[in-house]
């Protein structure tokens, strides 16, 4: 039986799962492009659930830090950064200046993640998709069109 393949930061990674009678919870380590998952013998969690939990954990750190970096670099005043598992959106911006991002962005290249962060931050100045909005996005992310296309065309 072959191990399933998943994506992390745009790269295909292998997940190697083992089971241990003495473990009480999953242990995860990432080395050499492989995700090693040691699971309790009695674990009923499928590997997809474990992988998604790992992505959510990483997204909270990575996307939050990157968003804060961009807010300082580009002079945006943001509220909270929230990581969710939306079914139909990569991100959103609220009237309270809170930015929400889909943890599944962690499957994409860093440049694609940056585009989504910049896109949502631009909504802090333009709460629509007007020409003015897209001009602002392009001024901060000149290759946004190809990144947007990559995000739409990929089925990760």
Residue pair 68/101 in contact (Cβ under 8 Å)? The answer is no
DSSP summary character for residue 4: P
Each residue's pLDDT tens digit, 21-40: 888 889 999 999 899 999 98
Each residue's pLDDT tens digit, 141-155: 999 999 999 998 876
The rounded distance, in Å, linking the Cα atoms of 84 and 150 is 21
Q: Which domain holds residue 100?
A: 5-153
Nearest to 113 by CA among 150, 75, 72, 71: 150
CATH number for position 145 = 3.30.2010.10
Query: Is it the case that residue 103 has pLDDT exceeding 50?
Result: yes
Per-residue pLDDT at 1:
46
Query: Is it the case that residue 125 has pLDDT exceeding 90?
Result: yes
Each residue's pLDDT tens digit, 51-84: 999 999 999 999 999 999 999 999 999 999 999 9
Structural domains in the chain (count): 1
């Amino acid at each position: 039986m072959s191990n399933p393949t998943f994506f992390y930061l745009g790269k295909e990674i292998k997940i190697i799962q083992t089971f241990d009678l003495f473990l009480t919870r999953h242990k995860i380590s990432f080395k050499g492009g492989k995700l090693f998952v040691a699971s309790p013998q009695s674990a009923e969690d499928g590997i997809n659930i474990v992988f998604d939990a790992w992505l959510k954990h990483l997204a909270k750190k990575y996307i939050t830090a990157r968003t804060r970096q961009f807010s300082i670099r580009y002079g945006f005043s943001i509220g909270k950064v929230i990581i969710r598992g939306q079914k139909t959106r990569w991100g959103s911006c609220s009237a309270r200046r809170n930015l929400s991002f889909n943890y599944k962005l962690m499957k994409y290249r860093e440049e694609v993640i940056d585009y989504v962060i910049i896109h949502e931050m631009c909504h802090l100045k333009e709460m629509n998709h007007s020409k003015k909005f897209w001009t602002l996005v392009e001024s901060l992310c000149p290759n946004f069109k190809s990144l947007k296309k990559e995000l739409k065309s990929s089925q990760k």
